[in-house]
Structure 1
Amino acid sequence: MPSKSSFQAEAINNHIVKWLHNYAENARVKGFVVGISGGIDSALTSTLCAQTGLPTVCIEMPIHQAASHVSRAREHIKNLKAKFSNVTSEIADLTPIFETFKNQVPESENPYIQDLTLANTRARLRMTTLYYFAGLHSALVAGTGNKVEDFGVGFFTKYGDGGVDISPIADLLKSEVRQLAKYLNVTDTIITAKPTDGLFGDDRSDEDQLGASYDELEWAMEQIENGKDHNDFTGRQKEVFEIYKRLNTINQHKMNPIPVCKIPHHLK
């Protein structure tokens, strides 16, 4: 998807940084905690938090993590700490905890269900860890989800990476995340890396899991907003449109408030 000529990187950057600072000030917290994965979303989020001048703690939480993810995460943290004196970092190796958990629960007879459930477990262990550090530092957990993930296809783990206090980049499309990351000089290796959630212990990408690239999903999201349906397209466009529509539908439970059973007044 081509860059949008109207995208005002400097103004958007300043807007988000001011929003973050004001939110933290009003919440009477000291700063932010951000999980660093080696991907562009967490790199951008931590850079935005760092610009507030408030204490920003970058947390590495490897669980059988690929070496490339670890090296990108550490390179980003090193660069961020060199630019901002308010940035610190911590490493919490969750691999032993993850293995202990696996040994205490039964396995599924379905390998796909087993892998998916354990992937979500990784995300939830990381959420718990981020909130531990947030508690220690009187900080907010800053989410790293973008607009396509959070409100398009629901590509996040409920009460995992979806469990955050604030979402500074959730109104930015993935293409806009890339543009803002380039403006802020995020490391090229991170910007050009194939997006992956890193939850399966292998090299599968987000596109492998979703069946479409983020550029394709952004296109489908725009078509939905313009009132189009699958009958308006053929070939790959129709396939992508249906992928987006299916994921958006089945993941509504992640995007909407928890259903509450309302008791009629006459029963109370």
Structure 2
Amino acid sequence: MQKISTLNTEKVNIHIVNWLKTYAENAKVNGFVVGISGGIDSAVTSTLCAQTGLTTLCVEMPIHQAQSHVNRAQEHIAQLKKRFGNVSDVKVDLTPVFESFKNEAPTSENETKLNLSLANTRARLRMTSLYYVAGINGLLVAGTGNKVEDFGVGFFTKYGDGGVDISPIADLMKSDVRALATYLEVPESILKAAPTDGLFGDDRSDEDQLGASYEELEFAMKALEAGKTTEDFTGREKTVFEIYKRLNTINQHKMNPIPVCIIPEKYK
């Protein structure tokens, strides 16, 4: 189920960069801050921001981070700084903050819920850090989510990596992001790395967590949009379609606006 992108990378590159620059200028900010994870999405997003010529601040925020993730992030930042004079970087080591939080917060005997809550806490600590750095520098927080994550399966942390000012690549499928990454000359180590959110302190990949690869989820996303049902598939395709539908359903609370209780006028 290998997906080959048909994206016109050159034109999409120009379009996103112009969009970013125009948005920043209208918002009267100095540029962008991007959290760098060592993954392909943050590498593409930061490169696009750098191409605007505006201030682009890359932020490393390790929390018991795997050394391979750290190495890829640092390789990308070094490459980006060499290519663009408007790029700078800062490291905010959140490991002590995370450990302090764990020591003070109540625990739970439900290990699954505890581990998931702590994983989401990592993402929310990073969001807080990005907004702090953005605030003192007059920058916008640029999101790194792609279309499958943000609008398909909801594979992000609410008010964590989902808490951003703008989303430059959220209309691109993962295969499109890969194509754009190749065009933008993102480091080979990042292009080859298995996608991972790095929130659990181990080597589990996104596919391990989701139960399907991004290429498979793209297939399911497009199939559902085309009106297909589970009965239209067999074998692995049916399994993937069911995985996608389940995740899309249970994560609607992330993708839809916050419900507001509207008070009838007669009560006001």
What's the TM-score once normalised by structure 1's chain length? 0.99
AA aligned opposite 2:105: V
Please name the residue that 1:260 is paired with: 260
Provide Cα deviations, 1:114-159, integer angstroms capped at 9, x if missing partner. Answer: 1100000000000000000000110000000000000000000000
Please name the residue that 1:243 is paired with: 243
AA aligned opposite 2:83: K
Please name the residue that 1:136 is paired with: 136
**Which consecutive unaligned segments of at least 5 residues does structure 2 have?**
none
SS of 2:102's partner is helix
**Which consecutive unaligned segments of at least 5 residues does structure 1 have?**
none
Separation in structure 2 between the aligned mates of residue 221 and residue 3 of structure 1, nearest angstrom: 15
AA aligned opposite 1:75: E
Please name the residue that 2:96 is paired with: 96
Separation in structure 2 between the aligned mates of residue 214 and residue 17 of structure 1, nearest angstrom: 25
Provide Cα deviations, 1:154-188, integer angstroms capped at 9, x if missing partner. Answer: 00000000000000000000000000000010001
Separation in structure 2 between the aligned mates of residue 248 and residue 206 of structure 1, nearest angstrom: 16
Please name the residue that 2:4 is paired with: 3
Separation in structure 2 between the aligned mates of residue 36 and residue 4 of structure 1, nearest angstrom: 24
Provide Cα deviations, 1:78-111, integer angstroms capped at 9, x if missing partner. Answer: 0000000000000000000000000001111111
- CA shift at 1:4, angstroms? 3.2
Please name the residue that 1:57 is paired with: 57
- CA shift at 1:235, angstroms? 1.1
Please name the residue that 1:161 is paired with: 161
AA aligned opposite 2:3: P
- CA shift at 1:223, angstroms? 0.3
Residue 25 in 1 paired to residue 28 in 2?
A: no
Please name the residue that 2:206 is paired with: 206
SS of 2:65's partner is coil
Runs of 4+ with deviation above 6 angstroms: none
Cα contact 2:148–2:173 (8 A) shared by 1: yes
Please name the residue that 1:68 is paired with: 68
- CA shift at 1:2, angstroms? 3.4
AA aligned opposite 1:33: V
Please name the residue that 2:177 is paired with: 177
AA aligned opposite 1:15: H
SS of 2:90's partner is strand
Separation in structure 2 between the aligned mates of residue 233 and residue 155 of structure 1, nearest angstrom: 24
Cα contact 2:196–2:206 (8 A) shared by 1: yes
Separation in structure 2 between the aligned mates of residue 91 and residue 104 of structure 1, nearest angstrom: 24
Separation in structure 2 between the aligned mates of residue 75 and residue 4 of structure 1, nearest angstrom: 26
Separation in structure 2 between the aligned mates of residue 178 and residue 20 of structure 1, nearest angstrom: 20
Please name the residue that 2:196 is paired with: 196
- CA shift at 1:225, angstroms? 1.0
Separation in structure 1 between the aligned mates of residue 112 and residue 263 of structure 2, nearest angstrom: 39
Separation in structure 1 between the aligned mates of residue 3 and residue 169 of structure 2, nearest angstrom: 20
Name the % identity: 72
